[in-house]
Homo-oligomer: A and B are copies of this chain.
């Protein structure tokens, strides 16, 4: 048994920061597969958009000054969108022009169809407009050389539309970091396995972690469950190391009990321990180790502790490799009920609800049960963790307090 040294949460994050590498490589994906991937390059416009002044509504292209005459003659040819010859407007003439059409040369104004009456091949202006009306000028959307979307942006349906309009078929994105997952514990049954002894419980950690990893944009490599036995653990860990995953995440086997072999196995496999034991609740027994480029994160076995520590220590590293911000967005919100500090001298992370009442953000704990790290259900509908520092104590209703936003 090697004695753990419990460090502060702040110190643990400083050590975690030393494991940052940023985006080391890139890959190209088809635009239709790029949703939720992260751009690995700035997107720069190669030409103005629109490239020509363009009609933004249906009407007649005219010269502004010709509005002083009550009637303007309609030119013979229309100007439909997609027309391949750019027409030239003659003085005292009007060309019928449609939404999306390039404006004729010399036309400086588009009078909407609703503002005219058509009489004997002429338009009669019933309501005049200002100069430039109904025209999107060249470069209105963007100009050549503009950074339209910076690298490190997660691609949503909006970015996909913008990429398509730039004719970018295969955007450069950050490769997905690969995360291997294994659950340890002799008492753990995998999904669908039949119970053979009364004390077995279902593993949920390997499944919730797989989904969490996918959710945060990484790829998961599932290794299932390994029983809590030194020899089996070593063989399995060696196999998992061979997967060349960037990160290996285990759950269980990091507390102080005799049956907790994970840290010893890692030492045997020549991992360097980055941290083992942090003054946080839940998840104080967390262990992070490193060998060559591979990072091993041993999470506690209780499901809520496993998920919260994965959020605190794994997700920032995934974000780093994707080019996303390393730290969560921290927001301030008003406590709607008293917050009881349960673990003096520890940094606490507590699932909470946020509700927006008249523009003010309020924290409550409705539906959450306190006092155990086993209650993964506490995280249902709860992408927020209340943060209470090592030095904090109880906080009263009405106080402004920090919340980590996990989205």
A residues apposed to B, CB below 8 Å? 31-32, 35, 50-52, 54, 56-58, 78, 80-84, 86, 96, 98-102, 113-114, 136, 140-142, 148-149, 153, 156-167, 169, 185-188, 191-192, 196-212, 214-215, 222, 227-228, 252, 255-259, 301-303, 307, 331-334, 356, 358-361, 369, 372-377, 379-382, 400, 407
Which single residue of chain B is at the shortest CB-CB distance from A49?
B201
Return chain B residues, CB-CB under 8 Å to A196.
Answer: 84
The reply to whether B100 and A187 form a contact with Cβ atoms under 8 Å apart is yes
Which single residue of chain B is at the shortest CB-CB distance from A363?
B359
The reply to whether B199 and A52 form a contact with Cβ atoms under 8 Å apart is yes
In the assembled complex, the CB of A291 is this many whole angstroms from the nearest CB of chain B, namely 27
The reply to whether B32 and A257 form a contact with Cβ atoms under 8 Å apart is no
Select the residue from A100, A159, A196, A205 with max chain B CB neighbours within 10 A. A100
Return chain B residues, CB-CB under 8 Å to A334.
Answer: 359
A192 to B86, CA, bound (A): 24
A383 to B15, CA, bound (A): 34
In the assembled complex, the CB of A4 is this many whole angstroms from the nearest CB of chain B, namely 11
Q: Which of B78, B83, B157, B380 is in CB contact (< 8 Å) with A162?
A: B380
16 additional contacts (CB under 8 A) given A99-B302, A156-B215 = A32-B211, A32-B222, A35-B214, A56-B374, A82-B188, A83-B197, A140-B374, A148-B377, A157-B212, A160-B207, A164-B202, A164-B208, A333-B359, A356-B361, A359-B360, A360-B361
A99 to B332, CA, bound (A): 35
The reply to whether B58 and A256 form a contact with Cβ atoms under 8 Å apart is yes
Main DSSP-derived SS at the A contact region:
loop
The reply to whether A58 and B255 form a contact with Cβ atoms under 8 Å apart is yes
Q: Which of B32, B199, B214, B373 is in CB contact (< 8 Å) with A81?
A: B199
A214 to B56, CA, bound (A): 29
Which single residue of chain B is at the shortest CB-CB distance from A186?
B82
28 contacts between A and B (CB under 8 A): A32-B211, A35-B214, A82-B186, A82-B199, A82-B228, A86-B199, A96-B258, A99-B257, A99-B302, A100-B252, A136-B374, A140-B375, A157-B215, A158-B379, A160-B207, A160-B208, A161-B205, A161-B211, A161-B307, A162-B204, A162-B377, A163-B204, A331-B356, A332-B359, A333-B356, A356-B361, A358-B400, A360-B361
Q: Which of B166, B199, B302 is in CB contact (< 8 Å) with A84?
A: B199
The reply to whether A201 and B157 form a contact with Cβ atoms under 8 Å apart is no
A180 to B27, CA, bound (A): 29
6 nearest CB pairs, A to B = A161-B208, A82-B187, A84-B197, A82-B186, A157-B211, A164-B207
The reply to whether B197 and A259 form a contact with Cβ atoms under 8 Å apart is no
